[in-house]
Amino acid sequence: KAIGIDAGGTLTKVAYLDEHNELILSTFPSNDLQAVKDWIINNPDIEDIGVTGGRTEQLLDVIKTMKSIHYIVEFEATLKGVRFLLNKGGYYFERSMITNIGTGTSIHYMEGNTHIRVGGTGIGGGTLIGLSALTTGITDYNEIREMAVKGNREGVDLLVKDIYQGMDTPIDGHLTASNFGKVGITEAIKQPAADILATVQGLVGEVITTLSIQYAEEKNAQHIVYIGSTISNNEHLVNVIANYTRTKKHTPVFINDHGFSGAVGALLNI
Ligand code: ATP
Ligand code: MG
């Protein structure tokens, strides 16, 4: 059997195909690579391991003597996996942007069989957890995700219409004029944790979307495929990204198993 492993900054993703050619996926925290080794030991039929991701060196320190190892560079693995998952989902785009929201964010332009990393930002999943933890004390990703759905950004974000009071707005009044901007100009400094978490997600989502759209316009690509575990089951963040992308006249695309693109690419590379 062959498996693909993407050892990322936060999460290590594993992918393989079962006897019915179904993708089987699992996740380990990247600060516990020993658990990955134990899992491999418990699956003695594994012969080949495709590896990728920024934590590959540390992963190999733990597993290198075990099996036949096949390394592939992270961006190559990610795009290989994205192509496979897009195809599996019945999508084909001649030109598209691929925005990978991992611990940090990388943005790629994909055209036919070619791709190039066009840019990125340090605003990513790590930012989401870091800012959430510092502002609310909540560090657990699942708790952040679930609470954010119940939160309301209105008391924290300053919208364009909040500035242009009683006047016509020069741009859509519901756009964010200033993320967290209401706090500094109103009296209520204390905000409910759910509202802060929703607003942190808003900030992260809007920065990433804004940047992705700028590249999409430069490259004349209509579709932006958003991937990465940061948006896995993260309803609030997905909504922010989808709505803002549509507001800016582009088409957001979300594919199944997107968080495992790198692991799938590493598997296909064997
Ligand atoms: P990079 O590609 O930047 O090296 P990575 O591959 O580890 O990082 P992903 O796995 O795509 O990145 O996404 C990591 C992010 O996903 C975290 O920062 C967090 O926001 C979110 N996340 C989703 N599930 C979890 C989880 N179980 N534990 C921690 N973070 C999670
Ligand atoms: Mg990654």
- The pLDDT tens digits of the residues spanning 167-225 come to 899 999 999 999 999 999 988 789 999 999 999 999 999 999 999 999 999 999 999 99
Within a domain: residue 193?
Answer: yes
Residues with CB under 5 A from ligand 2 (ion): 8, 102
Which pLDDT band holds residue 267 (cuts at 50, 70, 90)?
very high
Same domain, 242 and 264: no
Q: How many domains does the chain have?
A: 2
Nearest CA to ligand 1 atom 17: 125
H helix or E strand, kind and range, residue 35? helix 33-41
Query: Which ligand 1 atom minimizes the distance to the CA of 12?
Result: 7
pLDDT of residue 187: 86
Query: Which ligand 1 atom minimizes the distance to the CA of 126?
Result: 18
Within a domain: residue 108?
Answer: no
Within a domain: residue 233?
Answer: yes
Q: Is 125 in the pocket of ligand 1 (CB under 6 A)?
A: yes
Same domain, 162 and 246: yes
Residues designated as active site? 74
Same domain, 132 and 195: yes
Same domain, 56 and 149: no
What is 152-202 written as a DSSP string?
--TTTSEEHHHHSTTS--SS-TTSEEETTTTGGGSS-----HHHHHHHHHH
> Which residue is associated with the tokens 């019945």?
90
Within a domain: residue 102?
Answer: no
ipTM > 0.90 for the complex: yes
Query: Which ligand 1 atom minimizes the distance to the CA of 100?
Result: 11
pLDDT of residue 188: 77
pLDDT, tens digit (0-9, with 9 covering 90-100), for 87-108: 999 999 999 999 999 999 999 9
CATH of the domain at 183: 3.30.420.40
Contact 4/263 with Cβ under 8 angstroms?
Answer: yes
Q: Is 129 in the pocket of ligand 1 (CB under 6 A)?
A: yes
Same domain, 162 and 189: yes
Which residue, 114, 104, 110, is CA-closest to 225? 110
Q: Is 99 in the pocket of ligand 1 (CB under 6 A)?
A: no
* Distance separating alpha carbons of residues 91 and 62, to the nearest angstrom: 37
Q: Report how far apart the first and last C-alpha atoms of the chain are (Å, whole number).
A: 11
Nearest CA to ligand 1 atom 20: 125
Same domain, 128 and 203: yes
> Which residue is associated with the tokens 């016509």?
168
The yes-or-no verdict on residue 64 having pLDDT over 90 is: no
pLDDT of residue 130: 98
Within a domain: residue 113?
Answer: no
What's the gap in Å between 200 CA and the centre of ligand 1? Answer: 16
Structural domain that includes position 137: 121-254
Same domain, 67 and 132: no
Within a domain: residue 114?
Answer: no
Within a domain: residue 109?
Answer: no
Same domain, 45 and 134: no
Same domain, 36 and 151: no
Within a domain: residue 39?
Answer: yes
The yes-or-no verdict on residue 65 having pLDDT over 80 is: no
